[in-house]
Chain A
Amino acid sequence: MGTLFAIAGKDLRLLLRDRAGLFFTFGFPFLYALFFGAIFSPDGDEANRRIPLRLVDLDGSPAAAAFLDSLAARPGLDARRDSLAGAESAVRRGRATAALILQPGFGRKSERLFSGDPPEVELLCDPARRAEAGLLQGLLMEQGFRRLETRFQQPGRLLPEVRAWRDSLAPHAALDPSLGPLTRWTGELERFLIHQARVDSLAAAAPVTQADPTRTGGLPAGFEPLRVRTRELAAQRVGPQSYFEISFPQGLIWGLISVAASFGLSLVVERKEGTLRRLRAAPLRRRQILGGKALACGLAVLGLMVAMLIFGLFFGVRAERPELLLAVLPATALAFTGLMLLVSVLGKTERAAAGIGWSLLMLLAMIGGGMVPLFYMPEWMRVLGHASPVKWAILAFEGALWRGFGWAELLPICGILTAFGAGCALIGLKAFRWSET
């Protein structure tokens, strides 16, 4: 086992020291994913910055409409009006981060400031996107405080509310002396508002009405400007959220091809330079030498896939079923490690092996959807792509990311990848030669 790791460690070290190889293995896939992800994303960068939000007005009052209009104008949001069913569907399908539902009575409760319950909104959000939901809650509270600010800027409309509150306090203040300061403060506030209304020449217009008996039932609501009730709705995504979810698996494929090519060709180089012969003269078995090489290739493939998945998170590429990756990663690693062993026996010389190996890999990428996404391909080419591990690897990744695959759909694909890798490895081992002659 120590020998296997010694050979694998040597090969990984050599890979890390080969700058060109390193770029094509790790750098190019990222660039590919970013480039094509960015140019095919419909809204470009703007779409990535703004939170998609659906707005549902179940109240229909002018206050509700004003609240939603004001919210829609916020720069960080991509807010659209929708029906309740439409908004729920958008959240469930992952098309929107959340939906904001203004409940019936929102407008009426908005009119009251010091009595009754605050106006209430419901925030419907995907539990997987709690960070964005938290941000939205903050925005909503800010919006509620803005509403208060607006009310204080209209003293004529606030006066009846203050008088009603004063009237509701009066019977209690007579019984409880501790309410005295609050009663006095209410009187001061009333006088301030009257003064302010006069200053604004609005006092005459302000209707001085008797308190509405319906408004005297509750205790003051304090300054809770808005009550936000959240409800979680797990997203059931169908289709990619962005082109990055298509470009990342494709970019990854180029890295996998590069790993298979560079490790396969490294065996040819070792054969040419005599290091393989030297390894053969050591007390090692063929399976140890080739196993060490395969282990290095497999680890490089796994490392690349994990790095791409982590990097993808920054671009919104998230696995819908992360647990499926436990099968996708090893199956893909096996497929491309087997391919590496096949590439290593494709030509007698380094040049021949490179030419034949790259041609084969490009062909597999071409028919397998590594260059053009599978869904853009004509039917006959999709059928042809069945012969390519590239197609199955992309399908497996997309299945875990956004195609909504379950184990039943994924395991056959992983089986195909594993069988392909095993078949290539068998051919590679059978045709393996220690020297060029």
Chain B
Amino acid sequence: MDELLTVEDLHFFYGERRALDGLSLTLQAGEVLGLLGPNGAGKSTLIALLTGLLRPAAGRVAVKGEDPRTAAARAGLGLAPQELALYDDLSARENLRFFGRIQGLRGPRLEQRVRTVLEESGLTERAADRVAGFSGGMKRRLNLAVALLHEPAVLLLDEPTAGVDPQSRLALYELVERQRALGRGVLYATHYMEEAQRLCDRVAIVDHGRLLALDTVPALLAVHGGPALLVAERGAETLRVETRAPLEDLARLQAAGPLDSFTLRQPDLEQVFLRLTGRQLRD
């Protein structure tokens, strides 16, 4: 597979504060790589370094082998920043035309791409309306549409579903899945573990600028997730049992006395994060 992004032993400081501490990862073509961590973990800093906005204190970042501080390397990047980086007083179409032009699109090609991304993001009907009148979800979809406009090899999505309603969130997921199907690499920074679990081929868990784990979701769960949790209720009593053999443990509890109800909670990324850092992801 093609290596689209390379991050090696990356360090960065804001003044005295360490923001990234020896982070290393790669992104392959056709892969969605989740960057999972709480606010302040260093996700946005990594994206800023990948777009050449910041210069590393040490280590190396490369986009298709090139330094992202060169314009040529950035031509292959599509960024959907955490902020809604749009012009509120322009219409959706005007925003797309402008960002398309600065990406080098012109003439019929530009118009065709504008039409396509408007359709993909479900905004065709509102294309002529000013962005100021859009809902949060519509703005998020347009924010992503701008990143897709020039069909970049690498998409950097920084918290793309922040503050979005469930319907828009699903539409955004579909857009991301379509990019993967097209062979693009997606770096997906989020602090929503459900998103990472659903969308990402691999997940990098970061905290305080350090990479704590990087693997596929099943592998992360297997290695760091711990046992499943069986919760059963008998009368006023609640029983919690950590288990690697839930059926056997359930039968054992039932044999001790009839149960009113039970739930089995499989390990998730929340638990992985808890076990790796000793605190909740949303702390």
Q: A residues touching B (Cβ–Cβ < 8 Å)? A: 2-3, 6-7, 9-10, 13-14, 17-18, 273-275, 277-285, 434-435, 437
* Chain A positions within 8 Å of B90 at CB level: 10, 13-14, 17
In the complex, given contacts A10-B90, A282-B74, what are 4 additional A-B residue pairs having Cβ atoms less than 8 angstroms apart? A278-B81, A278-B85, A278-B146, A434-B53
Of A13, A277, A285, the contact of B81 (CB 8 Å cutoff) = A277
* Chain B positions within 8 Å of A17 at CB level: 89-90
| A281–B77 touching, CB < 8 Å | yes
Asked if B151 is at the interface (CB within 8 A of a chain A CB), the reply is no
CA distance A7 to B98 in the complex (A): 8
| A273–B84 touching, CB < 8 Å | yes
Of B72, B74, B94, the contact of A281 (CB 8 Å cutoff) = B74
| B81–A2 touching, CB < 8 Å | no
| A275–B53 touching, CB < 8 Å | no
**Distance of A2 from chain B, by nearest CB (Å):** 7
| B102–A275 touching, CB < 8 Å | no
CA distance A277 to B79 in the complex (A): 9
* Chain A positions within 8 Å of B81 at CB level: 274, 277-278
Asked if B24 is at the interface (CB within 8 A of a chain A CB), the reply is no
**Distance of B139 from chain A, by nearest CB (Å):** 11
* Chain B positions within 8 Å of A283 at CB level: 71-72, 74-75, 103-104
| Main SS at interface, chain A | helix
Pick the most buried of A273, A274, A275, A282: most chain B CB atoms within 10 A of its CB: A282
CA distance A7 to B90 in the complex (A): 13
* Chain A positions within 8 Å of B71 at CB level: 283-285
| A435–B48 touching, CB < 8 Å | yes
* Chain A positions within 8 Å of B106 at CB level: 2
* Chain B positions within 8 Å of A281 at CB level: 51-53, 74, 77, 79, 156
Of A2, A274, A434, the contact of B83 (CB 8 Å cutoff) = A274
**Distance of B128 from chain A, by nearest CB (Å):** 14
CA distance A18 to B86 in the complex (A): 16
The 5 closest A-B pairs by CB, nearest first: A274-B83, A274-B85, A6-B101, A281-B79, A283-B75
- Given A14-B89, A437-B14, A284–B102 Cβ distance below 8 Å? yes
Task: Return the CB mask of B76-98 against A: 1 if under 8 Å, else 0.
Answer: 01010111111101100010001
- Given A10-B98, A17-B89, A282–B53 Cβ distance below 8 Å? no
* Chain B positions within 8 Å of A3 at CB level: 101-102
**Distance of B143 from chain A, by nearest CB (Å):** 9
| B84–A274 touching, CB < 8 Å | yes
| A18–B89 touching, CB < 8 Å | yes
| A435–B53 touching, CB < 8 Å | yes
| B84–A277 touching, CB < 8 Å | no
**Distance of A284 from chain B, by nearest CB (Å):** 6
| A280–B102 touching, CB < 8 Å | no
Q: 6 pairs across A/B with beta carbons < 8 Å?
A: A10-B98, A273-B84, A277-B53, A277-B85, A278-B81, A280-B53
CA distance A116 to B234 in the complex (A): 137
- Given A14-B89, A281-B74, A434-B53, A273–B101 Cβ distance below 8 Å? no
- Given A10-B98, A283-B71, A273–B85 Cβ distance below 8 Å? yes
**Distance of A181 from chain B, by nearest CB (Å):** 81
**Distance of B213 from chain A, by nearest CB (Å):** 27
Task: Return the CB mask of B51-72 against A: 1 if under 8 Å, else 0.
Answer: 1110000000000000000011
Asked if B173 is at the interface (CB within 8 A of a chain A CB), the reply is no
CA distance A273 to B83 in the complex (A): 6
**Distance of B64 from chain A, by nearest CB (Å):** 13
**Distance of B146 from chain A, by nearest CB (Å):** 7
CA distance A13 to B99 in the complex (A): 14
* A285 to B, closest residue via Cβ: B71
* Chain A positions within 8 Å of B53 at CB level: 277, 280-281, 434-435
* Chain B positions within 8 Å of A7 at CB level: 102
CA distance A434 to B87 in the complex (A): 17
* Chain B positions within 8 Å of A6 at CB level: 98, 101-102
* Chain A positions within 8 Å of B103 at CB level: 282-283
* Chain B positions within 8 Å of A277 at CB level: 48, 51, 53, 79, 81, 83, 85
CA distance A437 to B40 in the complex (A): 13
CA distance A278 to B53 in the complex (A): 10
Pick the most buried of A10, A13, A284: most chain B CB atoms within 10 A of its CB: A10
CA distance A18 to B106 in the complex (A): 27
* B132 to A, closest residue via Cβ: A17
**Distance of A127 from chain B, by nearest CB (Å):** 49
* A15 to B, closest residue via Cβ: B89
* Chain B positions within 8 Å of A279 at CB level: 102
Of A2, A10, A280, A435, the contact of B52 (CB 8 Å cutoff) = A280
CA distance A278 to B52 in the complex (A): 11
* A434 to B, closest residue via Cβ: B53
**Distance of A424 from chain B, by nearest CB (Å):** 25
| B101–A14 touching, CB < 8 Å | no
* Chain B positions within 8 Å of A278 at CB level: 79, 81, 85, 99, 146
* Chain A positions within 8 Å of B89 at CB level: 13-14, 17-18
* Chain A positions within 8 Å of B51 at CB level: 277, 280-281
Of B74, B83, B94, the contact of A13 (CB 8 Å cutoff) = B94
CA distance A279 to B102 in the complex (A): 8
* Chain A positions within 8 Å of B75 at CB level: 283
CA distance A3 to B79 in the complex (A): 18
* Chain B positions within 8 Å of A280 at CB level: 51-53
CA distance A273 to B71 in the complex (A): 22
* Chain B positions within 8 Å of A10 at CB level: 87, 90, 94, 98
CA distance A6 to B110 in the complex (A): 13
* B14 to A, closest residue via Cβ: A437
**Distance of B131 from chain A, by nearest CB (Å):** 11
* B98 to A, closest residue via Cβ: A10
CA distance A18 to B90 in the complex (A): 11
* Chain A positions within 8 Å of B87 at CB level: 10, 14, 275
* A14 to B, closest residue via Cβ: B89
* Chain B positions within 8 Å of A13 at CB level: 89-90, 94
CA distance A18 to B72 in the complex (A): 35
* Chain A positions within 8 Å of B102 at CB level: 3, 6-7, 279, 282, 284
